[in-house]
Amino acid sequence: MRTKIIAGNWKMNNDKKATAILIEQLEENLQNTNGRLIIAPPFTHLEQSVALTKGSKLEVAAQNMHQAISGAFTGEIAAPMLQSINVRTVILGHSERRTYFNETNHALAEKVQTALDYDMDVIFCFGEVLSERKEGKHFETVKQQLEEALFGLEAAAWKKIILAYEPVWAIGTGETASPEQAQEMHAYIRQVIASKYGAQVANTVSILYGGSVKPSNAADIFQQKDVDGGLIGGAALKAEDFLAIAKAI
């Protein structure tokens, strides 16, 4: 049995007050939600979010971190800092980090290893851009992202890895991969992992889909047999929508 997971990536949204309100609205309505439920607020609100979710099933993740554990990296945040405020999960490799902040698969391999050194769970994002899909190169791209960023890991490390397939053309565009497209890619991802690590790792890693998931399309996507949940952007900013998606898993 794979763990079902719904994670909300808040990106650069919500001030301190809005964070408290959204968490309170979520906390009040968590009944009938299955699996793990994770929110990833901006760095400035992590400590507050950890405090507000104490004792609840809602988990708090960071949206990024640096690969070094300390040093002269102005503006960056390190794994021990996250650990010191009880943040135990980090999103790495989001397409916005790759596109706007030039994160490479090589840097991501280092970030993943550092996160694991600090016993954190990693939500590793990857996916093709539109031109790659149009040219039929989406499988190749995804395989390369996995190989370069994750295939240096030992098999045992995969217990801490959650994959999030996010086709870049579906992020924030309102255009979702069809349930069939999502299933096709998730099955392919499992096959690529199986050929490197064997069926046990491939069949136990949770693979989330991300890209314009909303209450109206969540159930169809989550019904696919290799889709284990979702990484939600825009719809995670409204408690009602995020909870409706969480209940669709």
CA 64 – CA 134 distance, rounded (Å): 29
Least spacing, CB of residue 240 vs ligand 13P, in Å? 15
CA 19 – CA 227 distance, rounded (Å): 29
Question: Within 81-140, which residues bind ligand 13P (CB under 6 A)?
Answer: 94
Catalytic residue among 94, 103, 132, 138: 94
Stretch that binds ligand 13P, among 81-89, 179-187, 197-205, 232-240 (CB under 6 A): 232-240
Least spacing, CB of residue 170 vs ligand 13P, in Å? 6
* 92 and 123 Cβ atoms separated by less than 8 Å: yes
CA 104 – CA 169 distance, rounded (Å): 19
**Which of 146/245 has CB closer to ligand 13P?**
245
* 163 and 208 Cβ atoms separated by less than 8 Å: yes
Question: With DSSP H G I counted as helix, E B as strand and the rest as coil, what are the percentages for the chain, rounded to 5?
Answer: 50, 15, 35
How many positions of this chain bind ligand 13P (CB under 6 A)? 14
**Which of 42/210 has CB closer to ligand 13P?**
210
106 assigned to active site: no
Q: Does 212 bind ligand 13P (CB under 6 A)?
A: yes
175 assigned to active site: no
Q: Does 224 bind ligand 13P (CB under 6 A)?
A: no
φ and ψ of 170, to 5 deg: -105, 0
**Which of 26/213 has CB closer to ligand 13P?**
213
**Which of 60/232 has CB closer to ligand 13P?**
232
> Which of 64, 66, 27, 70 shows the shortest CA–CA distance to 49?
27
Strands (E) across the chain are located at 5-9, 36-40, 58-62, 89-92, 121-126, 161-165, 207-210, 229-232
For 222, other C-beta atoms within 10 Å of its C-beta total 21
Q: Does 210 bind ligand 13P (CB under 6 A)?
A: yes
Q: Does 175 bind ligand 13P (CB under 6 A)?
A: no
Q: Does 152 bind ligand 13P (CB under 6 A)?
A: no
Question: Within 33-92, which residues bind ligand 13P (CB under 6 A)?
Answer: none
Stretch that binds ligand 13P, among 51-59, 134-142, 196-204, 205-213 (CB under 6 A): 205-213
CA 225 – CA 186 distance, rounded (Å): 9
Q: Does 161 bind ligand 13P (CB under 6 A)?
A: no
Stretch that binds ligand 13P, among 98-106, 183-191, 198-206, 226-234 (CB under 6 A): 226-234
Q: Looking at 232, 239, 243, 249, which residue binds ligand 13P (CB under 6 A)?
A: 232
* 223 and 182 Cβ atoms separated by less than 8 Å: no
Nearest 5 degrees, angle CA 127-CA 246-CA 83? 70
Q: Write out the catalytic residue numbers.
A: 94, 166
The site for ligand 13P (CB under 6 A) is made up of: 9, 94, 166, 171-172, 210-213, 231-235
